[in-house]
Structure 1
Amino acid sequence: MLNRRAHVRLGSMTTAPQPATLRERKKQRTRRVLAETAVTLFTERGFDETPLDALLDEVEVSRRTFFRNFRSKEDVALTALKQLWSAYLDVLDETPKSGRLVDVLRDAMLATVERMDGDWYRRFAPTLRLVARSAALEGHSLRHCAEMQTRIADRLGTADSLELRLLIEFAVAAWRCALDEWLPDCDPGELPACVRRAFASMDAGLHLEA
Structure 2
Amino acid sequence: MPTDDRALPLRERKKLRTRRALADAALRLFGEKGFDGVTLEELVEEVEVSKSTFFRAYPCKEAVAIEAEAEIWSAYVAALEGRELTGVVLGELRDALTATAAALEPGWDERYVATRRLVMTAPALLAYVEHYRGGITRQVIDCLAGKLGLNADDLRLHVLAELTTTAWSVSGRDWVRHGGEGGRQALIDGLAGAFGAIPASLDLSA
TM-score strictly above 0.5: yes
- CA root-mean-square deviation: 1.6
3-state secondary structure, aligned to 2:174: helix
Query: Hey, what does 1:3 align to over in structure 2?
Result: none
**Distance in 1 separating the partners of 2:111 and 2:103:** 15
Which position in structure 1 is the counterpart of 2:134?
A: 146
Provide the residue aligned with 2:109 in structure 1: 121
Q: Would the aligned equivalents of 2:44 and 2:51 in 1 still touch at CA under 8 Å?
A: yes
**CA drift at 1:94:** 2.6
Query: In the aligned structure 1, how far is the partner of 2:196 from the partner of 2:66?
Result: 28
Secondary structure of the residue that 2:5 maps to in structure 1? coil
Please point out which of 189, 202, 206 is paired with 1:206. Answer: 202
Cα shift readout 1:107-138 (whole Å, capped 9, x = no counterpart) = 11110001101122221111111111111111
2:174 equivalent to 1:181: yes
User: For residues 11-36 of structure 1, what are the alpha-carbon distances to aligned partners after superposition, in whole Å with 9 as ceiling and x for unaligned?
Assistant: xxx98333543222211111111011
> Is 2:94–2:164's contact at 8 Å kept on the other side of the alignment?
yes
**Separation in 1 of the partners of 2:14 and 2:67?**
18
Q: Please name the residue that 1:6 is paired with.
A: none
User: Could you tell me the percent identity over the aligned residues?
Assistant: 38
Q: Which residue of 2 aligns with 1:108?
A: 96
Which residue number in structure 2 is paired with residue 78 of structure 1? 66
Amino acid at match of 2:192: R
Number of residues of Structure 1 aligned to a counterpart in Structure 2: 197
CA distance in 1, matches of 2:200, 2:83: 25
Question: Equivalent residues in 2 for 1:8-27 (5 A)?
Answer: 16-18=4-6, 20-27=8-15
Looking at structure 2, the residues matched to 74 and 98 of structure 1 have their Cα atoms a distance apart, in angstroms, of 37
Query: 1:196 is matched by which residue type in structure 2?
Result: A
Change in Cα spacing, 1:20 to 1:209, as seen in structure 2 (3 Å) is closer
Partner of 1:87: 75
- Gap regions ≥5 residues in structure 1: 1-13
